[in-house]
Chains A and B, each alone.
Chain A
Amino acid sequence: MAAGNRSEAAQGLTLVAPPFAYALLVLGAPLLTLLAYSFFKDGYLTIIYEFTLENYLAVWSDPIFHKIMLRSLGVAALVTVVTVALAFPVAYFLSFVVSSERKPLWLFLITIPFWTSYLIRVFLWKVILGYNGVVNSGLKSLGIIEQPLTFILYNVNSMVMTLAHAYAPFAILPIFIALEKIDRSLLEAGRDLGENRMMTFWRVTLPLAMPGVIAASLIVFIPTIGDYVTPALIGGGKIPMIANMIQAQMLDIDNRPLGSAIAVTAMIIVAALSLLFLFVNRRFLKVRQ
C-alpha cells in the first residue's frame, strides 16, 4: 500500500533526521571548510579570501608531497596486508572452531584493546620496542644481545607492527561476520563433490568470505593512511606520513590553504584507490547468500 509506505518512510526520515543533521554538522561542515580553504590564498599568517588553484598546483609539483604520499600508501598497504592476513586465521578460528556458546566471550576478548585509548596503546608499543624497552632489556638480561637493538623502533617495520595491532579487531570482525554467514552445508557439498579441505577452502570458503576481506581491507587501509600518532611516536618523526605533513602545514608553518589542499588531494587519492579496489573485487560483492 503506497500510502502506508509513504507514512512509514516519513516516520523513518523523522527518526534519522537528528543524527543525520548532527553527522552533517560534524562531518560535512569541516569537510566543506577544508575544501573552501584549499581554494584560498595564503597571505603569511593570514588567509586571503580569493579563489586560486595555486595550492593544488603546488601540491602536485611538490616532490616531498609525492614521497610522503607514496610512503603513506605503501605503509597503509603493508599494514592492510599484514592485518588482514593475521586477522583471517583468527576470524576463521572464531567462526569454525569456537563453539557457538563461547563466541560472545571471544568477541568480547577481542574488543578489550578498545578499553584503552589509541594513543596509550601506541605509546605502549614504544615502551615495548624502545632503546631501553621491554624487548631490549629482556633480551639483554637473557644474554642474547649485548647492545640494544635499534632496528625495532623508529622505522616502517615498527609502524606496521603497531598499526596492525591497533586495527586487528577492525579486520577480524568483518571477516568473522562473512564467515559466519556461510551456510555450512556448502562446505560439506564441496567435500561431497570430491574436494579436500584445502581445495574446499580455496573454492568455497574464501570466495564467500571475500566481502568480509574487502570490508576489512578498506576499514584498515583508509584510516591508516591518515594515521598521525603512530608515525609521530613509533616512527619517531623521522618517517612522516601524510597526516604529519598536513599537520605541519596547518599548524607549524601556518599555511592553512596549502594544508587543506594536501588534505583534499590525499582524500581524493584514497577515495579513487578504494573505488578501484571495490571495482576489481566487484564479482565477490555481487554474491547474494
Chain B
Amino acid sequence: MTSPTSSASARRPDRSAARALIECRDVQKYYADYHALRGIDLTIREGEFFSLLGPSGCGKTTLLRTIAGFEDISSGVVLIDGQDMAGVPANRRPTNMVFQSYAIFPHLTVAENVGFGLRRDPRPAAEKAAAVEEALGMVGLKGYGNRASHALSGGQRQRVALARALILKPKVLLLDEPMSALDRKMREQMQVELIKLQRQVGITFVLVTHDQEEALVMSDRIAVMFEGQIAQLDGPEALYARPASRRVANFIGVMNFLPARILDETENGVMVDAPGLGVVEIPSRNISSADPGDEGPSIGFRPEAVSLLGPNVAAQNRVTGGVIDEVVYYGDMTYYDVRLDGSASFDGKSRPVRIAMRNVFGREVQDVGTRTRVSWSPGSLILFR
C-alpha cells in the first residue's frame, strides 16, 4: 500500500530517495518442513531506522538473523550494499548485532567487551583504548571500562552491547528485541536514546520487535510480518492510519469493525452502508483490498478517530446516537464502549464500538447507560473489502 503521504512525515527526514542498503529478493527459509520465511521482498534504505514488527513466530527474528549471517537461506537473495551475501559468514558481513540477551562476555570487563572486535584493528593499543572510551561515552557509560560485566544492570548491559557494535562502525546495526528485558520506564528512556543515537551516528538500524508501540515510536519505516510474510511495509503514520488489512489493523493499536454493504463504486471511492453509520462514501485512499477475510467487507475506525459529544456541544461532522455500555477511566484518557443506534440492524448482533476521549479540562466523564452522541467523519473510516 503506497500513497503519496506515506513516504515522509514532519518528524522524520525523507529517505525515499536514499540508496538501498539491504535488499531481500524472494527470500525463503525452511527449517526441515517448517516454512519460516515465505518470499520476503524488501529494501532497507541507507540511514533508515527500519523495524520488523510481528507476533512471535512470524519470522522477524529469522529474517534478522539471515541478514546477520547466522542463518542460511533456502532460496532467494540477500544483498548488503550491493553485494550478494550468499556464503558470506557472519564475521565478514558489514553488520553488527545487539542480541536479545545482549551477549555480554562474562569473563571480560566492560572495556574488553567493547573492544572485542578491535583485535585486528591496526591502530596502536592507546588509540584503541581511546576509541573504547569514546564509544562508552557515546552510550553514557564513561568511566565504566574497568567494571566487571556481571556487575551491570540490564540497561547498562544494553548500552555495552550497543557500544561494542557501534565501535566497529558497521553499515547496519541489527537489534533483536533489545528492550524486551527492560522494565517499562527504562524501555521508554532507551527508545528515545536509541533514536538520538541513530541520528547521531547515521548508521542504518534494523530493529526486531513484537511491541507495536515501540515500532511506531522509533521507526522511519515498519515491515509488519505474519507467518513468514510481510503483510505491510509503510511509515508509522500510514501504517496506523491506513492498515492494509484487518489483521494489521488489529495488530497495531485497536480498531473497531462494523460489517458493511457495498452499494456503488463512485468516481472518488465507494458508497457503503454500515449499521449505525448509514450510507457513506469512503474515499479511495481509505480502501484496503488486501484482506477480504471470511467476514465480508467491513468498515474500520480507530477509537480516537471519532468522538463523544458532550450534552451541549454542537456537531460539526456527522452524528450518530448511542448508549454507553462501559466506561474505563485511565486518568489521561477515558475509553467508552458505545452501542450505536441501529448497529444491530444488519444481523441483530450488537457490536459496541470503543471510543477514546482525552480527559481535557472541562470535559466530564460520561456515565454508563447514558444516551450520547458520537461525532464522526467519513474521512476517518477505512473500508476493508
Residues of A within 8 A of B (CB): 183, 185-186, 188-196, 199, 203-204, 207-208, 283-284, 286-289
In whole Å, how far is B216's beta carbon from the nearest beta carbon of chain A? 27
Query: B359 — which chain A residues lie within 8 A by C-beta?
Result: none
In whole Å, how far is B299's beta carbon from the nearest beta carbon of chain A? 46
Cβ 8 A contact of B90, one of A192, A204, A288, A289: A192
Task: List 23 interface pairs A-B (beta carbons < 8 Å), by A numbering.
Answer: A183-B101, A185-B100, A185-B103, A186-B103, A188-B70, A188-B97, A189-B97, A189-B99, A189-B103, A190-B116, A191-B89, A191-B91, A192-B96, A192-B97, A193-B117, A193-B168, A194-B119, A195-B117, A199-B119, A208-B107, A284-B107, A287-B107, A289-B106
Measured in the bound complex, the distance between the Cα atoms of B105 and A289 in whole Å is 9
Query: B168 — which chain A residues lie within 8 A by C-beta?
Result: 193-194
Query: A191 — which chain B residues lie within 8 A by C-beta?
Result: 69-70, 89-91
Measured in the bound complex, the distance between the Cα atoms of B93 and A195 in whole Å is 11
Instruction: Give the interface size class of chain B.
Output: 20 to 34
- State the 7 A-B residue pairs at the shortest beta-carbon distance, nearest first: A193-B117, A189-B103, A185-B103, A288-B150, A191-B90, A287-B107, A207-B107
Q: A188-B70, A188-B97 are in contact. List 7 more A-B contacts (CB 8 A).
A: A185-B100, A188-B103, A191-B91, A193-B91, A195-B117, A204-B105, A208-B106
In whole Å, how far is A282's beta carbon from the nearest beta carbon of chain B? 12
With A188-B99, A189-B97, A288-B150 known as contacts, the answer to whether A194 contacts B91 (CB < 8 A) is yes
Cβ 8 A contact of B120, one of A183, A186, A190, A194: A194
Measured in the bound complex, the distance between the Cα atoms of B71 and A192 in whole Å is 12
Query: A192 — which chain B residues lie within 8 A by C-beta?
Result: 68, 70, 90-91, 95-97, 165
Measured in the bound complex, the distance between the Cα atoms of B120 and A203 in whole Å is 13
Query: A188 — which chain B residues lie within 8 A by C-beta?
Result: 70, 90, 97, 99, 103
Measured in the bound complex, the distance between the Cα atoms of B118 and A195 in whole Å is 10
Query: B339 — which chain A residues lie within 8 A by C-beta?
Result: none
Query: A207 — which chain B residues lie within 8 A by C-beta?
Result: 107
Cβ 8 A contact of B116, one of A185, A193, A196, A283: A193
The verdict on B164 contacting chain A, using a C-beta distance below 8 Å, is: yes
Measured in the bound complex, the distance between the Cα atoms of B89 and A194 in whole Å is 9
Q: Are B103 and A183 in contact (CB under 8 A)?
A: yes
Cβ 8 A contact of A193, one of B70, B96, B150: B96
Measured in the bound complex, the distance between the Cα atoms of B106 and A193 in whole Å is 16
Measured in the bound complex, the distance between the Cα atoms of B92 and A191 in whole Å is 9
In whole Å, how far is A102's beta carbon from the nearest beta carbon of chain B? 16
With A188-B70, A188-B90 known as contacts, the answer to whether A195 contacts B97 (CB < 8 A) is no
Query: A199 — which chain B residues lie within 8 A by C-beta?
Result: 119
Measured in the bound complex, the distance between the Cα atoms of B149 and A286 in whole Å is 12
Cβ 8 A contact of A196, one of B89, B96, B105, B107: B89
Query: B91 — which chain A residues lie within 8 A by C-beta?
Result: 191-196
Query: A283 — which chain B residues lie within 8 A by C-beta?
Result: 107
Measured in the bound complex, the distance between the Cα atoms of B107 and A203 in whole Å is 10
Measured in the bound complex, the distance between the Cα atoms of B351 and A285 in whole Å is 63
Measured in the bound complex, the distance between the Cα atoms of B119 and A203 in whole Å is 11
With A194-B168, A195-B119 known as contacts, the answer to whether A189 contacts B89 (CB < 8 A) is no
In whole Å, how far is A81's beta carbon from the nearest beta carbon of chain B? 23
Q: Are A194 and B106 in contact (CB under 8 A)?
A: no
Q: Are B164 and A193 in contact (CB under 8 A)?
A: yes
Measured in the bound complex, the distance between the Cα atoms of B116 and A203 in whole Å is 9
Closest residue of chain A to B115, judged by CB?
A193
Query: B120 — which chain A residues lie within 8 A by C-beta?
Result: 194
Query: B69 — which chain A residues lie within 8 A by C-beta?
Result: 191
Q: Are B99 and A288 in contact (CB under 8 A)?
A: no
With A185-B101, A189-B97 known as contacts, the answer to whether A194 contacts B107 (CB < 8 A) is no
